[in-house]
Structure 1
Amino acid sequence: MEVDPYRTPYQRDRDRVLYSSAFRRLSGVAQVAAVNEQRVLHNRLTHSLKVAQLGRRLVQHLKHDRSGKSRDLWRAAGVNADVVETAGLVHDIGHPPFGHISEPVLNACLRRVEGLEGFEGNAQSFRIVTKLARRRTDHPGLDLTRATLDAMLKYPRTRSASEDNPFDVPTWTDRGFGGKWGTYRSELMDFRWARKRARGDRRSANAVLMDWADDITYATHDIEDYFWAGLIPLHNLHSDRDGIFKHACRRLGGLQDFDPARFAGELDRVIDRFEKSISSSCWDTRRNRSAMNEITTENLGECVRAVSFAAEAPFVTVDPQCQYLVEALKELTWYYVIDRPSLAVMQEGQKHIIQSLYDRLSDCLSESPKSPRLPIQLRSLYRDLGHDEEFTAFSGGSDVRRARAVVDYICVLTEAQAVDLDERLSGRSHSSMFGAWFS
């Protein structure tokens, strides 16, 4: 590992991520709505940039506490602004085209193949930065530091560990644990190396901060997007207040120790804050933009101040009341946007595209790994899996290798590429054969 006199290893991690094609690809992956919408909405790239920026601010807030106790906890936690920022940049780097809606499709495809655990977006992110993204021929992945890899592990467990030993978390606001899993067996050596200094299955302090920055960012920018799009009536939320509350209780009621009364209090505060500032006359006005910026700034400031040091691992904690605030903000997007029929219908079509791609590419690869009908990058991924000793140690044969290669390939496509390739493979394309992007 080379050492630069002008930057730390953690700063080098950040530079490598920013210069990777895997990171640039996120500009073509949806946050909620498809990236081809005419309105300027957040995509996975702009979302990740904001998560990274906010993660750095959380560390700066903690560093501002100069007390002797905080200095001791700072050392115990090992928090680092560059590490949290880089983890924020890469936390969504493994998302497939169309975002979360594609994950259950790919999971079902892989679960049908004996020898594979299924699909998980966070595990795919870890696989990309440790194996698939390339900067040098002599080392797979981006060759990131242990601290950065550990910080991106929001769910530091394998699927088998998650199923065999479910967490007994006392309350849903305990940020030290994540309910899902975050690494495949094919990256188990990298996972163990990243977690060498970890305390059991607990997240690192840097991962807690990155995850909180992710929640805050998602809660704030989606409201802005869909208010300007005319979907969230921020000037008149009280008329839907009871419906919003009931919807939230159905969505969040399964969380351990979720308190509907505390949520209701934060929801009322959110509604009151918006209705006092947002004009109903014309939504996209200078006045409303200024009011929205002021509210967002107020929310962000409150969420940043909610972070403090704790005496026990992972040594950082987030005020529970502020977590109810973030859930109340997120609920507006769930109620008015995510559960809308117009989005659900579009997502159903997107799932069909992903399934079609998987089936057609698997069939082509099954006929011949050298078939000219296969995109060059897919052939390369399939070939490289044959030389991956960690993967071949547990894989059950060609079916496992083929399925893993196809999913890896789908997860390096943008949404436009996925749509175009599906049209070409199904005979519905009007595109030219000349200058095809996958050649």
Structure 2
Amino acid sequence: MSQGTVGKARRHPVKEQDTAYRDDYQRDRDRVLYSSAFRRLAGVAQVAAVNEQLVLHNRLTHSLKVAQMGRRLVQHLRYQLDDPKRGFPAGSDLNEDVVETAGLVHDIGHPPFGHIAEEVLGQRLAQIDGLEGFEGNAQSFRVVTKLARRKMEHPGLNLTQATLNAILKYPRLKHSSKSTALWTDRGYGDKWGAYQTEKVDFDWARQGSRGDLRSANAVLMDWADDISYATHDLEDYFRAGLIPLHSLSVDKERILKHGLRRLKQHRGFDEFRFRNELETIIAEFGGRLHSQCWETRKNRVQMNKISSGHLTRFVKAVRLLGEPPYVEIEQSSQYRVAALKELTWFYVINRPPLAIQQEGQKRIIGSLFDRLMMCLEKSPSSPKIPIQLRGIYRDITQDDTVEAMSDKNKEAGCARAVTDYICLLTEAQAVDLGERLAGRSQSSMFGTWFN
């Protein structure tokens, strides 16, 4: 059994079936892994759309690797203990299963088409009184505390306090005060992580925590996310021929300028250290990869060796502290990860092919939101509305903790329900439903997925 006992209380107290082979944190992991909300991530893009011919990471495979990496980080810290029998510092609640579960959950609320859809939903919701806009991390917290269901008696997956706290990568509400920290201080984040509708769940999960300081488990989950982004996505786009890892030196100054434009506004960000790490990886890739072709055996072997070396280094970059947040990340490794991530930003994300594709995706999500809103506001019980959306709206109207979404503000309740529904769709489902609502679909009415 894994260690860690401080946060094993569940949000909704229930009598669990006694199973000696699983502890409470392992139950959490299993609940997430078997949820339909988690399976949906197979149909949601990491960067490029999931219908690409190349085998790229999607949100599901990315989440699995974040979870696996999170577990390894805790295992490394446990291995480094002077006296393993004494365990981790009191109050840290560090636990392999908790970090792994947080990794599985961290993207579970992200909408179809990723960040571009978040922008569209944020713009729509910002125009409606009683709502705070959209935030993917807050939506993930809402999924596991409200939208995912396993029992009739209570909403959500009824996870433990430690797991819910680990999921909170940005442990504050939107309008609460935010701590100012150095870029390398992983104890704090820039965004917010929960809506007012989940304030009761948020406050319960954060009992005993300091302000907006992350839990140790959340720090490790966030670092695991960065590691996965930096290494696995980079490999994807080298395979796709989009990132010329063998000849990065040609674009070195442009990559550096592009990265500094994004990153230098962060407090304490060291431009010299970033340049140094970028130059190091450019030399490493250029010295070991001699062509753009992924299919040569030599390139595949060399790329795997490079990735493996990075993963090992980044796991060993975590260290224990004697006070909250109880863990820290070696600064040089943080700059190395930032340099690796910048390659994907420069060659893939901020390029015309993806930008053009995203314009179409924005139209799909925007049109889908508008049409569903119109139908729901007009007649919430209409057969024109998908059954799941009707159920989500009904739950919202019956939630006595949501004062802003009472009968006095029907628009806010409808918008929240439509957003929740869209964030439970795959990209293929979003496209199909949008075409049906626009009258452009030739699909059969029989056996539809939304009945």
| TM-score, length basis structure 1 | 0.97
Partner of 1:37: 52
2:132 pairs with one of 111, 117, 128: 117
Partner of 2:156: 141
Asked whether the equivalents of residues 187 and 214 of structure 2 are also in contact (C-alpha less than 8 Å), the reply is: yes
Give the deviation of 1:227 after TM superposition.
0.3
Partner of 1:386: 397
2:29 pairs with one of 5, 11, 14: 14
Whichever residue aligns with residue 423 of structure 1, its letter is E
Q: Secondary structure at the match of 1:76?
A: coil
Asked whether the equivalents of residues 386 and 392 of structure 1 are also in contact (C-alpha less than 8 Å), the reply is: no
Give the deviation of 1:363 after TM superposition.
0.4
1:152 aligned onto 2:167: yes
Give the deviation of 1:393 after TM superposition.
6.0
Between the aligned partners of 1:222 and 1:148, the Cα distance in structure 2 is 26
Partner of 1:358: 369
2:191 pairs with one of 160, 176, 180: 180
2:388 pairs with one of 377, 382, 397: 377
Partner of 1:268: 279
Between the aligned partners of 1:271 and 1:226, the Cα distance in structure 2 is 16
Partner of 2:4: none
Between the aligned partners of 1:158 and 1:76, the Cα distance in structure 2 is 23
Between the aligned partners of 1:10 and 1:371, the Cα distance in structure 2 is 41
Amino-acid identity (%): 63
Whichever residue aligns with residue 428 of structure 1, its letter is R
Q: Secondary structure at the match of 2:175?
A: helix
The size of the alignment, in residue pairs, is 435
Deviations 1:231-287 (Å, cap 9, x if unpaired)?
A: 000111111111100100101111111111100110011111111111217332221
Partner of 1:411: 423
Between the aligned partners of 1:289 and 1:389, the Cα distance in structure 2 is 56
Give the alignment of 1:247-266 within 5 angstroms. Answer: 247-266=258-277
Partner of 1:203: 214
Most deviating of 394-403 and 174-183: 394-403
Q: Secondary structure at the match of 1:313?
A: coil
Partner of 2:9: none
Partner of 1:234: 245
1:325 pairs with one of 322, 336, 343: 336
RMSD, matched Cα: 1.4
Deviations 1:41-85 (Å, cap 9, x if unpaired)?
A: 000000000000000000001001132599575333220000000
1:70–1:232 distance in 2 versus 1, CA, 3 Å:
farther
Deviations 1:270-306 (Å, cap 9, x if unpaired)?
A: 1111111112173322211111110001001111111
Between the aligned partners of 2:356 and 2:42, the Cα distance in structure 1 is 23
Give the alignment of 1:394-433 within 5 angstroms. Answer: 395=406, 396-433=408-445
Between the aligned partners of 1:371 and 1:303, the Cα distance in structure 2 is 53
Between the aligned partners of 2:396 and 2:405, the Cα distance in structure 1 is 12
Partner of 1:91: 106
Q: Secondary structure at the match of 2:184?
A: coil
Partner of 2:232: 221
Between the aligned partners of 2:429 and 2:294, the Cα distance in structure 1 is 34
Whichever residue aligns with residue 231 of structure 2, its letter is T
Between the aligned partners of 2:296 and 2:86, the Cα distance in structure 1 is 46
Q: Secondary structure at the match of 1:139?
A: coil
Give the deviation of 1:311 after TM superposition.
2.9
1:129 aligned onto 2:144: yes
Whichever residue aligns with residue 399 of structure 1, its letter is E
Between the aligned partners of 2:160 and 2:193, the Cα distance in structure 1 is 18
Q: Secondary structure at the match of 1:142?
A: coil
Q: Secondary structure at the match of 1:45?
A: helix
Partner of 2:11: none
Partner of 2:324: 313
Between the aligned partners of 1:244 and 1:70, the Cα distance in structure 2 is 47
Asked whether the equivalents of residues 73 and 310 of structure 1 are also in contact (C-alpha less than 8 Å), the reply is: no
Asked whether the equivalents of residues 70 and 103 of structure 2 are also in contact (C-alpha less than 8 Å), the reply is: yes
Asked whether the equivalents of residues 405 and 413 of structure 2 are also in contact (C-alpha less than 8 Å), the reply is: no
Give the deviation of 1:200 after TM superposition.
1.7
Between the aligned partners of 2:369 and 2:168, the Cα distance in structure 1 is 27
Give the gaps of 5 or more residues in structure 1. none
1:189 aligned onto 2:204: no
Between the aligned partners of 1:202 and 1:253, the Cα distance in structure 2 is 23
Give the deviation of 1:324 after TM superposition.
0.2
1 or 2, which has the higher helix percentage? 1
Q: Which runs of 4+ in 1 moved over 6 A?
A: none
| TM-score, length basis structure 2 | 0.94
